[in-house]
Amino acid sequence: MPDFEEIYKRYAPQIFRVCLGYTNDADQAKDLVQETFIAVWKGLPGFRNQSQISTWIFRIATNHCLRALEVAKRMPSAELPFNLADKEEESPEEKLSLLYRCIAELDETDRIIISLELEGLPQAEIAAVIGISSGNVRVKIHRIKDKLAQKLKVYEQFR
Amino acid sequence: MNNLDDLRAIWHSAKTEDLPSSKEMMQMVRAFRFQKLRNKWIVISLSIVFASLLVGVLIVTPFKMVSTYIGGGMIILADLWILISNIRSLKRFNQLEDCSNLEFLSFIEKTRQNQHYYYKNTLVKVVLLCSVGLGIYLFEPLHQHLLWLIGAYAAIIVYYGLLWFVVRPRSFARNQNKLDAMARHLNNMAGQLK
C-alpha cells in the first residue's frame, strides 16, 4: 500500500492547483485539499488498485469541488479590464490571476476538465475522473480551449 | 498567452509552498477524520445506548401489563428505525469515494431524494410510533395516580405538538431550501456533462 506522506507530497500541489482552478480562491482551495486528503487517508487501506491512484485522488478532489455549493470568486469579471488597463507588461502573477479568472467564468464541469488538462493528465484519465468517454473529453477540451481563448482575447483587448 | 503550452506554463507557476507539510496534514487528518460525519455517529451511538437501556428495563422490571411491553417495543422499534437509516446513510457515504464525477452527481441526487423521503415519510412514522409507544408505555406506572397520568399525557401532547407543528415545519422548510438549491446546482452540472 502506498505511503500517505509520499502521496501527499506528490499530489498535494496538483490537487491544490485543480481546486484553485475550480474555486479561484486560495483559502477555499486549501480547505478542499484538506478535505481531499482526509478522504484519501480514510480510503487508503481499502484502495484496491482498481484504478490508478492518481485517478482515485483526482476523483475525490473534483467530487469535493462539485459538492461546494457556493464558490467564491475573487473579483467580478466585468471589473477586470479597468483594473488592468494601465499595466504595460503583465507580471507572471497577473497572468496567472487572469487565467484563473477566465477559468472561473466557465461552467463548473468545464473548469474541472480544463484544470485536469492543464495539470497534464492524459485524456483517458480525465475521462475516468469525469465519467464520460475519451472521445467526449477530447471534444469538450477543444470547445473549452476555444472559450478560454476568447475570454483571454477579450481581456487582452482592454490592455 | 492563448497557446495551450503557454497556459500550462502559467498554470504550473501557481505557488504551492503555503500548503501544509505532510506532517501538518497528518495532524489535521487525525483531528478532523470524524468531524465530517460526527452528527451521524452521535445519533447512531445514542440510539444504540437508548435501545439497550430500554431493552434492559423491559427485561429486568417485572411489568404486569402487556401494554407496557408493547409501548416499550414501539419505542425501541422507532429507535432502531432511526439507527438503521443512519447506518445505511453512513455506509453509502463510505462507499462513495471511488466514483467518477458523473456517478457522484447521481449519488448526491439520490441522497437528496433520500433526505426528502426521510423528512416526508420516515420521520413521520418514527415520531408517530415513538409518541404512541410512549403513551402506552407510561400507562402502567401512572394509571393509579390520576393527576400524574393527566399531567404526563398533557406534557407528552404538548411536547409532540410543539415538535410536530413548530419544530418540524421549520426544520423541513430550512432543509427543503437547501435541498432545492442543491437540486438546481446538480441539474445544472449534470446538464453540462451531456
What is the secondary structure of A35-83 as a DSSP string? Answer: HHHHHHHHHGGG--SSS-HHHHHHHHHHHHHHH-SS---SS-GGGHHHH
- Beta carbons of B37 and B97 less than 8 angstroms apart: no
Rounded Cα gap, residues A133 and B64, in angstroms:
68
ipTM, 2 dp? 0.80
CA trace torsion B4, B6, B9, B10 (10° rounding): -100
Q: What is the value of pTM for the model shown?
A: 0.74
Stretch A83-109: mean pLDDT:
78
Cα nearest neighbour of B193 on chain A: A109
What local confidence, expressed as pLDDT, does residue B186 receive? 78
- Beta carbons of B76 and B120 less than 8 angstroms apart: no
Judged by average pLDDT, the poorest of A147-156, B66-75, B177-186 is B177-186
pLDDT band for position B116 (cuts 50, 70, 90)? confident
What local confidence, expressed as pLDDT, does residue A1 receive? 64
Q: Tell me: pLDDT of A76 over 60.
A: no
> Residue B28: which of A123, A158, A39, A148 has the closest Cα?
A39
User: Which chain A residues are Cβ-neighbours of B91 within 8 angstroms?
Assistant: none
What local confidence, expressed as pLDDT, does residue B67 receive? 93
Domain ranges, ordered by start, for chain A:
4-157
Rounded Cα gap, residues B36 and B41, in angstroms:
10
Stretch A48-60: mean pLDDT:
87
Ramachandran sector of residue A29 (left: φ over 0; alpha: ψ -120 to 50; beta: rest): alpha
pLDDT band for position B2 (cuts 50, 70, 90)? low
Q: Tell me: pLDDT of B32 over 70.
A: no
Q: Does B194 contact chain A (CB < 8 Å)? A: no
Contacts of A112 (CB under 8 A, 6+ apart): A18, A21, A22, A62, A65, A66, A129, A130, B101
B33 and A148 within 8 Å at the Cβ level: the answer is no
Cα nearest neighbour of A137 on chain B: B193
Q: Tell me: pLDDT of A82 over 60.
A: no
The mean pLDDT value of chain B amounts to: 85
Residue A6 burial by Cβ neighbours in a 10 Å radius (0-12, 13-18, 19+): exposed
Stretch B19-47: mean pLDDT:
80
- Beta carbons of A24 and A101 less than 8 angstroms apart: yes
pLDDT band for position B34 (cuts 50, 70, 90)? low
Rounded Cα gap, residues A25 and A77, in angstroms:
14
Report for A30-34, A92-96, B15-19: range of highest mean pLDDT = A30-34
Structure-model confidence comparison of residues A91 and B78, the more confident one: B78
B101 and A67 within 8 Å at the Cβ level: the answer is no
User: Which chain B residues are Cβ-neighbours of A26 within 8 angstroms?
Assistant: 18
What local confidence, expressed as pLDDT, does residue A29 receive? 92
A33 and B19 within 8 Å at the Cβ level: the answer is yes
Nearest to A118 among B8, B105, B193 (CB): B8
**If one looks up domain A4-157 in CATH, what number appears?**
1.20.140.160
Cα nearest neighbour of A20 on chain B: B14
What local confidence, expressed as pLDDT, does residue A86 receive? 47
Rounded Cα gap, residues A16 and B15, in angstroms:
10
What local confidence, expressed as pLDDT, does residue A45 receive? 84
pLDDT band for position A83 (cuts 50, 70, 90)? very low
A66 and B101 within 8 Å at the Cβ level: the answer is yes
Stretch B123-136: mean pLDDT:
91
Stretch A30-49: mean pLDDT:
87
The mean pLDDT value of chain A amounts to: 83
Instruction: Give percent of chain B above pLDDT 70.
Output: 93
The DSSP secondary-structure symbol of B36 reads: T
Rounded Cα gap, residues B183 and B180, in angstroms:
5
User: Which chain B residues are Cβ-neighbours of A98 within 8 angstroms?
Assistant: 1
Rounded Cα gap, residues B130 and B132, in angstroms:
6
A38 and B104 within 8 Å at the Cβ level: the answer is no
Q: Tell me: pLDDT of A73 over 70.
A: no
Chain segment A124-138, per-residue pLDDT in tens: 999 999 999 999 999
Contacts of A110 (CB under 8 A, 6+ apart): A140, A144, A147, B192
